[in-house]
Structure 1
Amino acid sequence: MTPRELLAAIPPVSPPLTLVQEQWPTPVTQPFMPPLAEYMPYLQTIWANRWLTNSGPFHQELERALEQHLGVPHLSLISNGTTALWIALQALRIGGEVITTPFSFVATAHALRLVGATPVFVDIDEADCNLSPQGIEAAITERTTAILPVHCFGHPCDVKAIGEVADIHDLKVIYDAAHAFGVQADGSSILCHGDLSTVSFHATKVFSTIEGGAIISPDARTKAKIDRLRNFGFVGDMTLAGASINGKLNELQAAFGLLQLRYIDDIIARRAAISARYHSALAEMAGIMPFHAIGATTLNHAYFPVRVTEEYAVSSDTLCRELQSVGIMARRYFHPLICDMPGYRDLPSARQALPVARRIARQILCLPIHANLSDEQVDRAVGILARA
């Protein structure tokens, strides 16, 4: 049997999601693990093929399946999200100064450093924690070559305004869409904006290939360049176009991704239900401010961040410790800011006021959300907030 025929013969599991009713501690996020029995036929096929990496059949299948599922033109699988960012920056020959956000995981800035570019930190918007288009425009100099925004917590940036700024100043735009798998704005994938977008498929993300990521390209020529860059720079088997790295995804991870894709609609639906339960319970709680979708946006509910304001009885840091002390592993994503970390705090842009980013970093707290979380666990976390 071919891999496709073998997979088609596997019966679906009902119900599609089995919730873990009680866990101790309650993690802030957790990968969805499909039934092991459903993974075994993939492994048997890999063992029979003896094709472990280098664009095997499951790798090719997952690229096509993700392009169709996400509604994107061209997708290249990469070994992880940070490598995807590095390759995207290399593909566009980015150097000089790049405007980016201080409110992100440090990999965003690391990728710039790894290609020899200098991060220029700009303040964020209050409503969505994303780069301020006005701040971007004010920070542009003759050394600026690109903009690297992040769709923070999976909430879309103002892609129209950022695109207009980039067009006026002839700048490249690479979106760090690590959190934005399946997110749509105005009926289409947020991943289709900018010159390139990168996604993370890490185990902590909504869709996972254990480790992994992807780059979304606008055309076949750009995809071919990215595919060369993820394979040491080779064109075909023997011709070397230039020096690059090994950024390929292997067959075991691609197979895991294909199995995850079967469940992704149920995974996101469960996350949406958890988000709605939190919103309902926290709506009247003074000093706790959840984030809301802006405009015609379809979210993936990758995170459930709240702001703990001065109206609340204790600080975000204190509340986080109280939750963790009873096994509810809330996290303060993203505190501290990248610009306050060693290696970045000496940059000129790190010494700016950045008032919104610093205020949100002080207030931010992410509550547990993942497909395995039970309603009882959600209610328990809310109960701690209500009693704090």
Structure 2
Amino acid sequence: MIALNKPLRPNITKLTTYLESVNESGWYTNFGPLHEQLTKRLEAYLGVKHLLLVANGTLAIQVACKTLNINSAITTPFSFVATTSALLWQGVNTAYSDINPQTYNLCPTALSNALAQDNSYDAVVATHICGNPCDVHEIQSVAEQYNKKIIYDAAHTFGVKLNGESILNFGDASTLSFHATKVFHTVEGGAVVFKNKADYEKAKQLINFGIKDGDELGEPGINAKLNEYQCAVGLTLLDDIEQVIKHRTALFNLYCSELKGVVKLQQWHSEASLNGIYVLIYIADEYLQHSIITALATENIQSRRYFTPSLDIAYSEQKNFGCNVSHTLTKGVICLPLHAYMTTEDVFQVTNLIKKTIQLTAVSS
């Protein structure tokens, strides 16, 4: 079987060494030594400052919103459900603006038109879909014009750079997911990278029940800390992350080479690096979609419809400013297998089967 995804398995010898150190110290959570070590190593590796580890990527979005005093936001309808559910759970008044049909990211022109209609929102929450950076400069220009804060859902963008700079350095905050399905993980976990140090310090209090130095209580907070056992997994996996990203990127490039001109592929930002987290294809014809998914499943190759339904349809009670592009894409996007344990032979098996199915479908029709 070729699995859609396989989480990275930490080296058990290295991991055990870290876990033994936790047991010896008896410091299992609450900003322990492994937490501080992972924070520093991630800041150095990613090229960022003010990185705050949290318990998961959903909490990362919620903590960013709470820290930046976001009560209302315009976001993308084309993303994993957590982007929206995190906002709604937090009580953020949420609306949707459409995406670019080539990049699949929030469209700056559509965003500008939406804000021209209704300028009451506090912020923009945009997702870098499949690690493909948004047009951050255009979104920044729109945000400045309308005086909005920006949060980037960067769950897919571990290690991605734009013109040599970490994509996490754009906006007022960027959130990461370290879920087991991601390029880098801590089993469950996440992080927020803040532009400003003051926001980072406020957020660090908020994720520890709002406790200030000593026992003084400040603004009500929550418990969103990452524990030492999970940090141990992160430290173990971080040792080999360069090789992992290099391999995944090679597989991604091979997919694109084999499928270019065969199916529609996501248009990548010309100035951005890759991390090989996901590969999406778009098939407009429903019969052909079904044929490809069925052919893959018959050969024990997993695939997934991603992301469906469009979030403005799933949460239809929320305002939207027209999301026709998202509606079209969610009806035809298929996510193909891609993970660190795949081989080039696996990619050829997937792509050859897709080509064969398209040819057979064309002949039968």
The answer to whether TM tops 0.5 is yes
SS at 1:379 equivalent: helix
Per the alignment, residue 348 of structure 2 pairs with: 379
SS at 2:304 equivalent: coil
Per the alignment, residue 199 of structure 2 pairs with: 222
Per the alignment, residue 261 of structure 1 pairs with: 238
The answer to whether 1:89 aligns with 2:65 is yes
Could you tell me which amino acid in structure 2 is paired with residue 327 of structure 1? N
Q: Deviations over 1:39-84 (max 9, x none)?
A: 1111111111111100110000000000010001110000000000
Per the alignment, residue 4 of structure 1 pairs with: none
Could you tell me which amino acid in structure 1 is paired with residue 280 of structure 2? P
Per the alignment, residue 309 of structure 2 pairs with: 336
Instruction: From the superposition, tell whether residues 152 and 184 of structure 1 become closer, same or farther in structure 2 (CA, over 3 Å).
Output: same
Per the alignment, residue 288 of structure 2 pairs with: 315
Instruction: From the superposition, tell whether residues 145 and 368 of structure 1 become closer, same or farther in structure 2 (CA, over 3 Å).
Output: same
Could you tell me which amino acid in structure 2 is paired with residue 118 of structure 1? N
Cα RMSD, aligned residues only: 1.5
* Structure-2 separation of matches of 1:76 and 1:31: 23
User: Is the Cα–Cα contact under 8 Å of residues 315 and 363 in structure 1 kept in the other structure?
Assistant: no
1:168-207 to 2 correspondences below 5 Å? 168-207=145-184
Question: Share of identical aligned residues, percent?
Answer: 36
Query: Which range is displaced more, 55-64 or 235-244?
Result: 235-244
User: Is the Cα–Cα contact under 8 Å of residues 320 and 332 in structure 1 kept in the other structure?
Assistant: no
Query: 1:160 Cα deviation (Å)?
Result: 0.5
SS at 1:53 equivalent: coil
- Give the alignment's TM-score, normalised by structure 2: 0.94
1:39-58 to 2 correspondences below 5 Å? 39-58=15-34
Per the alignment, residue 69 of structure 1 pairs with: 45
Per the alignment, residue 12 of structure 1 pairs with: none
Match among 333, 336, 345 for residue 367 of structure 1 = 336
* Structure-2 separation of matches of 1:190 and 1:382: 30
Per the alignment, residue 355 of structure 1 pairs with: 324
SS at 2:3 equivalent: coil
Query: 1:27 Cα deviation (Å)?
Result: 1.8
User: Is the Cα–Cα contact under 8 Å of residues 205 and 212 in structure 2 kept in the other structure?
Assistant: yes
User: Is the Cα–Cα contact under 8 Å of residues 207 and 224 in structure 2 kept in the other structure?
Assistant: yes
Per the alignment, residue 363 of structure 2 pairs with: none
Query: 1:115 Cα deviation (Å)?
Result: 2.3
User: Is the Cα–Cα contact under 8 Å of residues 68 and 199 in structure 2 kept in the other structure?
Assistant: no
Query: 1:294 Cα deviation (Å)?
Result: 2.0
Unaligned runs of 5+ in 2: 358-365
Instruction: From the superposition, tell whether residues 284 and 135 of structure 1 become closer, same or farther in structure 2 (CA, over 3 Å).
Output: closer
Unaligned runs of 5+ in 1: 1-23
Per the alignment, residue 110 of structure 1 pairs with: 85
Could you tell me which amino acid in structure 1 is paired with residue 201 of structure 2? A
Q: Spell out structure 1 runs of 4+ moving beyond 3 A.
A: none
* Structure-2 separation of matches of 1:309 and 1:142: 35
